[in-house]
Chains A and B, each alone.
Chain A
């Protein structure tokens, strides 16, 4: 398997622009997670899905952030409008059963100018 795939790997945008991050989980994995990594806050969960249904979105910072999972093989994280404080590395991860290891994608490094 190719592992968790994320795109783009790097994104540079200007404040106010819409940003869309994409993730393809490992085939057969029922759980998908979005994490954000910053120097100030470390690694924190934004949202996770089970069987395409959002389960816990308590980590989503505010209404500017939204996430969708239209099918088992694709998820998006959208920021609209983007702000400089959104600059971070965004990771997608997946696993196949409760309690099993989460496998991470390579991350998307976002820089908002």
Chain B
């Protein structure tokens, strides 16, 4: 069974600073997909970034980037120049590449950006 672990229940950082959220996962598969979703107070689940495990290059989306370490099964999210609108719950998720499309989520990290 797949498991996803987020060891930081809460984090806070000053506006404009950089913050890194941690995620580790466990899978026996070689190919899979990893995601970071953001859930603001509105409760909407919003995709932040997606990584394909067979790609060695780390995914980036504007101020968001990941550090994907396949051997260590680690998938951290870096937010640069943090903004007040980044305040949200952040969920790491994994998806199998072998016919089961479900997302397995971590427990989330509550990130607060301090003005």
Contacts and interface: CB of A to CB of B under 8 A. Distances in A.
B102 A33 contact: yes
Given A33-B102, A42-B107, A56-B102, A106 B44 contact: yes
Interface stretch (A20-28, A78-86, A94-102): A94-102
Nearest to B99: A98
B105 interface: yes
Interface string A33-45: 1010000001111
A50 B101 contact: yes
Given A42-B108, A99-B52, A99-B95, A48 B47 contact: no
Q: Which of A31, A33, A99 has the most CB of B within 10 A?
A: A99
A48 B102 CA distance: 7
A102 B91 CA distance: 14
Interface string B77-115: 000000000000001000101011111011110000000
A31 B106 CA distance: 22
Contact of B91 (A43, A45, A48, A95): A43
B61 to A, nearest CB: 12
Nearest to A93: B45
Contact of B33 (A43, A50, A99, A107): A99
Interface residues of A, number: 25
A93 B91 CA distance: 15
Nearest to B47: A101
A102 B44 contact: no
Interface string A100-113: 01111011010000
Given A99-B33, A99-B95, A101-B50, A45 B102 contact: yes
Given A101-B47, A106-B44, 6 more contacts: A95-B101, A98-B97, A98-B101, A103-B47, A106-B42, A106-B43
Interface of A: 31, 33, 35, 42-45, 48, 50, 55-56, 59, 89, 91, 93, 95, 98-99, 101-104, 106-107, 109
